Structure 1
Amino acid sequence: MMLEHVLVLGAFLFSIGICGLITSRNMVRALMCLELMLNAVNMNFVTFSDFFDSRQQRGDIFSIFVIAIAAAEAAIGLAILSSIYHNKKSTRINQSNLLTK
């Protein structure tokens, strides 16, 4: 597979994630779009690592670190979402104003 094809696919997935993050009103959908953006970046890391420096696995190792951070982000985000739903009975972003009583 050529480098340009993978980069176009990564840019397409990243743009879908950005559009979904901007337009979503549901917190779960926003977290899924954020994960989609991180996976598109990981795909580009691995592609650049394979294309330019196939002997050293720097992009692959950095991608593993990003996956670990994304897993922690998903766990913490879902815990916060669960707490907000328990208190407010809604997962909509525009209805959860936590600064008011």
Structure 2
Amino acid sequence: MVPTATWYLVLAAVLFSIGTFGVLVRRNPLVMFMCIELMLNAVNLTFVALARELNDINGQTIVFFVMVVAAAEVVVGLGIIVSIMRNRSALTADDLAELKG
């Protein structure tokens, strides 16, 4: 049985739902960051599945650029989160409000 675009779209919806649930429930910024990345990968999977279904290369091109930007985002985001977590033993998302101006 060959998986169709529908299977990939359902998988992307499940991954996006798991990521959304993780962002809404968890308060640890590192876990929230990983859940946001999971949501981003679900969107990428949607783009690739639809590009394959429609025989269009534009979806895969968009995914390539999204992955490049996401790599830069991971470097900056993890750097900020790790530097804050070094100073505090227990960090929640509410503690990040101290980063304002």
TM-score, normalization by structure 2: 0.85
Post-superposition CA distance 1:37-71 (Å, at most 9, x none): 0000000101100101x2x4111110011111111
Q: CA deviation at 1:90?
A: 3.2
TM-score, normalization by structure 1: 0.85
**Which residue of the partner structure matches residue 86 of structure 2?**
86
Q: Distance in 1 between matches of 2:34 and 2:77?
A: 11
Flag structure 2 segments of 5+ consecutive residues without an equivalent. none
Q: What secondary structure does 1:12 align onto? A: helix
The answer to whether the aligner puts 1:69 opposite 2:69 as a matched pair is yes
Distance 1:99 1:32, change over 3 A: closer
Distance 1:99 1:37, change over 3 A: closer
Q: CA deviation at 1:85?
A: 2.0
Q: What secondary structure does 1:98 align onto? A: helix
Pairwise mapping of residues 1-101 of structure 1 onto structure 2 (< 5 A)?
A: 1-52=3-54, 54=55, 56-98=56-98
- In percent, how many aligned pairs have the same letter? 39
Backbone CA RMSD of aligned residues: 1.8
Contact 1:28 1:91 in 2 (8 A): no
